Structure 1
Amino acid sequence: MSGHGEFPPPGAGAGAPEPTQPRYPAPGQPQGAWPAPYQPPPGWRPPGPAPMGAAHKPGALPLRPLGLSDMYDATFKIIRFNPKATVGSAVLVAAVSMAIPVLITGGLSLAVDLSFDASSSGEPTAAQLAGLIGAGGSLLLGTFLQSIGLILVTGMIARVCAAAAIGRRLGLVEAWGETRGKRWRLVGLTLLLALLLMLVVGAYAATWVPVVLLSDQAWPIVLYGLVSVPLFLAFMCWFWIRVYYLPVPALMLEDVGILVAIGRGFTLTRRQFWRTFGIALLTVIVAQVAGSMLSMPISFLGQGALAAGAPSESAIFLLVLSQAASSVVAAAFVSPFTATMTSLQYLDQRMRKEAYDVELMTRAGIRVT
């Protein structure tokens, strides 16, 4: 550009001339005598803004507000490129937890005959009842321990997603180390949310007591059910998204406590309820259907072994073994998938409301202009 602020004529300067639009023919020139169109040099790109939707993508997701396809694409990329910290951690927790009922039931099957037809009278003996209670109790214990362990897996996956956003890949040991100082708070947050959930359900159940006791006929009870049940389900959906859904990634990715994490989840979902609810509901449906399809063959295999005439003394052990194996297989997909989608929705809401994508770019070493 010259000192008078005018553009130089085409062809001036050492560089190649900028491309121009085809010109109309000069006065007096035949209409068919168009000048040859300009051919830009190889590799030249027109100046101007980036294409619509373009964004920095140093890792598994673009650093901009995310759409549904962005989230699902990033979810599978994060799981594929961080298998030990996602699927591996879930399988490890589920396998260790479910090994407890398998070992206990196996030991009880060797010590006590758990078959129902072992006694001459056909009635189970006291030892058999104790063995059955022990087997059932061990399965409940394993399920409880698995749920506690998967809470920690959810926290690990939140850190994995934050690292994947800036192009880092975490192994199992690294992801576990990222949760240091947050583990007990994460367990406390989960217990508090479970307590709030039980209080809500208990309060609704208590409203049925006077309705049932004071109604001499059935129609007031039916009418109350028709009115209150849809309202209660609607409130539970609201409670799930506004209170229950995003506090875990908020606790793991911000320097906050338990109560502040719940408040952060409430704030991030403000005016974003229907969008968050739709994605969360779709994620749960996809995860549960896929988890059922993966675990169903194992359950059918265990039931088929019993139906095919497996020894009656090993029936309870085979049943517990098939339930434990199907639980491990389901946890291998459901937990990483849902936890990753939840963490991505948290990142998406922060990028939409707090320009968190700028902070992520800075962490990734991208110069923000």
Structure 2
Amino acid sequence: MPLYPFGFGTALGRSFSVLRGNPKVLLGFAVGVQAAASFVGLLILGGVSFLMFSRLATVEEFSDEFDALMAGSIAVTAVVGVVVTLALSALNVVVQGVVVAEVSRATVGERATLRELWAIVRPSFWRLVGYFALQLLAILVVALVVAVPVIIGAGTEQYFLAALIFPLLLAMIPLWAWIGTKLYLVPSAIVLEGIGPIAGIRRSWQLTRGRFWPTFGVMILISVIVSVASSIVTAPLQLFGSFLPVIVMPFGEGTPEPGDFGAALATMLVVTIVTMALQLLVSAIGTIVTGAGGALMYIDARMRREGLDLRLQSYVEQRELGASELPDPWPYDPAYAAYAAQPRYGAPGPAQPGYAQQPGYPQQPEQGYPQHPGYPQQPGYPQQPPQGYPQQPPQRYPPQQQAYPQQPGYPQQQYPGQPPYPAPPSAPAAEQPAQWQPPQWQPPAPPSGGA
């Protein structure tokens, strides 16, 4: 992972590439947990259904007691099914916690085992379950708000109250998108910072401030991609399973042969098992990708708001230098948050006094660092004025005339059977200028006449 704010595109792409980094641990854990949860849920639901509906054989059919037992059995089975489904769905939050731990280790270039990841998640297990309980409570409150007008309208025959369910459901869609985005980072905050559900909600609400639309884009695109992939994988098998009875009994009449019926039943059972396995696999992948997207957006938000990138870089450098005991870089540190709140990149400051502009160099325009969106800014450093060097006067050297001695020509080669080539006429020698001779001293002539 890059140790700097990476933004929307990197977070979305790396969410799907998390499996490539540690596939055995993540996919094995997610599929194993969800498969075990599904198996336990089927056993509980099947046992309760058998116990409840087996009582119908003890009373007379079409009697009042039979009708009461039937209604009670259906109600108890439905309630148990909802409770078991919600209880086992809490394990998805635990899977997301393991994914968050894996992303945190992969960010600093470490590959952890399942035992090491569970050691990170185990202290926060009940906190994650508590957060899921708060989500469940909120869902029940919303369901009651939607169901009360319907119940009142049906009881008082005021059906216009029941019609209020449609605008209420439409209003729930943007409300769900807004609240879901603001709480998308809660599992990451609970696992990495070791805080409770309420504090995790507060932290997620704070970190998504100013980063709502990138977080919403990652969350909604992951949901859409996973849903479309699940439909593409399971739709052909479901379609084949729906056409299987028509293939066995094309006209809907008669009894198929025992061999044909057994083959059709075995085929239907195989198709059902394969469909459930594929749905389980796609669901596990969706849980992993969703958890990875939340963890990456959490890391990106903390890098921008709290200088987490500086702490992670320091952690990696100390590890590379061979430090044995390294502090945990993930808990909240107010000192780094205060430092990150300062501007990192600003315009250059005024020139310091005492530096004179040197002649000979043109004044260069001041160029500041470009403002990157989303990066915290550091205070600008004062700009040093350009210090030119004094211009040196041009140095003129007198032309040097150096006569080179004339090189003798190459001897002429003669080949046998060929006449000798005539020598080229030699160029006349250049006339050398007469050299100046100083005048010779001569004694003065004797004066004429007698003394």
Relative to the length of structure 2, the TM-score reads 0.54
Superimposed CA distance per residue, residues 65-122 of structure 1 (whole angstroms, 9 cap, x where no aligned partner): 22232113322332101112321111111222233467789999xxxxxxxxxxxxxx
Asked if structure 2 preserves the Cα contact closer than 8 Å seen for 1:291 and 1:329, the reply is no
Alignment of 1:186-201 (within 5 A): 186-201=128-143
Asked if structure 2 preserves the Cα contact closer than 8 Å seen for 1:91 and 1:328, the reply is yes
Q: What is the percentage of aligned positions where both structures have the same residue? A: 25
Q: Return closer, same or farther for 1:297/1:171 CA change in 2, 3 Å cut-off.
A: farther
More helix by share: 1
Q: Return closer, same or farther for 1:159/1:82 CA change in 2, 3 Å cut-off.
A: same
Q: Paired residue for 2:289, among 323, 331, 337?
A: 337
Alignment of 1:18-37 (within 5 A): none
Q: Which has the higher contact order (CA 8 A, sep 6+)?
A: 1
Asked if structure 2 preserves the Cα contact closer than 8 Å seen for 1:63 and 1:357, the reply is yes
Q: Return closer, same or farther for 1:221/1:132 CA change in 2, 3 Å cut-off.
A: closer
SS in 1 for 2:109: coil
Q: Quote the offset at 1:188 in angstroms.
A: 1.4
In structure 1, the partner of 2:216 is 277
Asked if structure 2 preserves the Cα contact closer than 8 Å seen for 1:101 and 1:135, the reply is no
SS in 2 for 1:328: helix
Q: CA RMSD in A?
A: 4.6
Moved more, 298-307 or 249-258: 298-307
Alignment of 1:215-230 (within 5 A): 228-230=168-170
Asked if structure 2 preserves the Cα contact closer than 8 Å seen for 1:215 and 1:221, the reply is no
Alignment of 1:248-267 (within 5 A): 248-267=187-206
Residue 232 of structure 2 corresponds to residue 290 of structure 1: no
Give structure 2 stretches of 5+ with no counterpart: 49-65, 249-260, 321-343, 345-451
Give structure 1 stretches of 5+ with no counterpart: 1-60, 109-124
Letter in 1 for 2:281: V
Q: Return closer, same or farther for 1:337/1:240 CA change in 2, 3 Å cut-off.
A: same
Superimposed CA distance per residue, residues 290-316 of structure 1 (whole angstroms, 9 cap, x where no aligned partner): 122233344345445555435487799
Asked if structure 2 preserves the Cα contact closer than 8 Å seen for 1:287 and 1:338, the reply is no
In structure 2, the partner of 1:238 is 178
Residue 36 of structure 2 corresponds to residue 84 of structure 1: no
Asked if structure 2 preserves the Cα contact closer than 8 Å seen for 1:84 and 1:172, the reply is no
Q: Return closer, same or farther for 1:276/1:264 CA change in 2, 3 Å cut-off.
A: same
Partners in 1 of 2:158 and 2:196 — Cα distance? 50
Partners in 2 of 1:256 and 1:132 — Cα distance? 41
In structure 2, the partner of 1:365 is 317
Q: Paired residue for 2:279, among 319, 324, 327?
A: 327
Letter in 2 for 1:245: Y
Superimposed CA distance per residue, residues 196-237 of structure 1 (whole angstroms, 9 cap, x where no aligned partner): 23213423443666788899685x876x56765543322222
Q: How many residues align?
A: 294
Q: Quote the offset at 1:334 in angstroms.
A: 1.0
Residue 299 of structure 2 corresponds to residue 347 of structure 1: yes
In structure 2, the partner of 1:206 is 148
Partners in 1 of 2:73 and 2:236 — Cα distance? 27
Q: Quote the offset at 1:363 in angstroms.
A: 2.1
Letter in 2 for 1:349: A
Letter in 1 for 2:32: L
Q: Quote the offset at 1:320 in angstroms.
A: 6.1
Relative to the length of structure 1, the TM-score reads 0.64
Asked if structure 2 preserves the Cα contact closer than 8 Å seen for 1:87 and 1:333, the reply is yes
Asked if structure 1 preserves the Cα contact closer than 8 Å seen for 2:230 and 2:279, the reply is no
Q: Quote the offset at 1:172 in angstroms.
A: 2.3
Letter in 2 for 1:231: A
SS in 2 for 1:62: coil
Letter in 2 for 1:176: W
